[in-house]
């Protein structure tokens, strides 16, 4: 392993998040980089980990319901004009996706157990 040079260290400290490309995962929050990322990061990690966001996939309507539920019962503030930005981001990146997994292989086509 190569020692981190002072220049390298300074560069890594000065490198802003914005050097991550759209579609990449922010290593700190785990959120996908896309427009609205900074606003989501600022509002949606104040009370809980962003895992609650990244673990979920919902329609825009259900995201809105979730925001309303947090506003009613969990102390989430009025998001004002950021609400649209947040919903756009969530709908674009955390919507339900149809499963692309292939169906399981039928047992009679599986190789025999090696044990
Ligand atoms: C004021 C505090 C607060 C803020 C800010 C906040 N939340 Fe939450 N959120 C909560 C609490 C409390 C829970 C319930 C946590 C639990 O069940 O452990 C929760 C739960 C959730 C859940 C899980 C809901 C479920 O049905 O299980 C999601 C998804 C979520 N939040 C998304 C967000 C998003 C997106 C934002 C940004 C707009 C956000 N939260 C901002 C307080 C907050």
- Does the pLDDT of residue 107 top 50, yes or no? yes
Using DSSP's 3-state secondary structure scheme, residue 23 falls into: coil
For residue 32, the cross-strand partners are 25
Which residue has a Cα nearest atom 28 of ligand 1? Answer: 52
At 112, the pLDDT band (50, 70, 90 cuts) reads confident
CATH of the domain spanning 21-95:
1.10.760.10
At 18, the pLDDT band (50, 70, 90 cuts) reads low
Residues 54 and 99: their CA atoms lie apart, in Å, by 17
The fraction of the chain above a pLDDT of 70, given in percent, is 85
Task: Give the mutation target among 30, 34, 48, 50 for probing the ligand 1 site: most ligand atoms within 8 A of CB.
Answer: 48
Return the higher-pLDDT residue of 75 and 114: 75
């Amino acid at each position: 392993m190569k020692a981190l040079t002072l220049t390298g260290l300074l560069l890594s400290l000065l490198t802003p998040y914005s050097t991550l490309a759209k579609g990449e995962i922010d290593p700190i929050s785990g959120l996908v980089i896309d427009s609205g990322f900074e606003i989501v990061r600022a509002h949606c990690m104040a009370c809980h980990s962003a895992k609650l966001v990244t673990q979920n996939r919902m329609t825009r309507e259900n995201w809105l319901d979730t925001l309303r539920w947090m506003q009613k019962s969990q102390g989430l503030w009025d998001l004002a004009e950021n609400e649209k930005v947040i919903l756009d981001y969530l709908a674009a990146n955390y919507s339900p996706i149809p499963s692309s997994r292939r169906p399981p292989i039928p047992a009679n086509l599986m190789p025999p157990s090696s044990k």
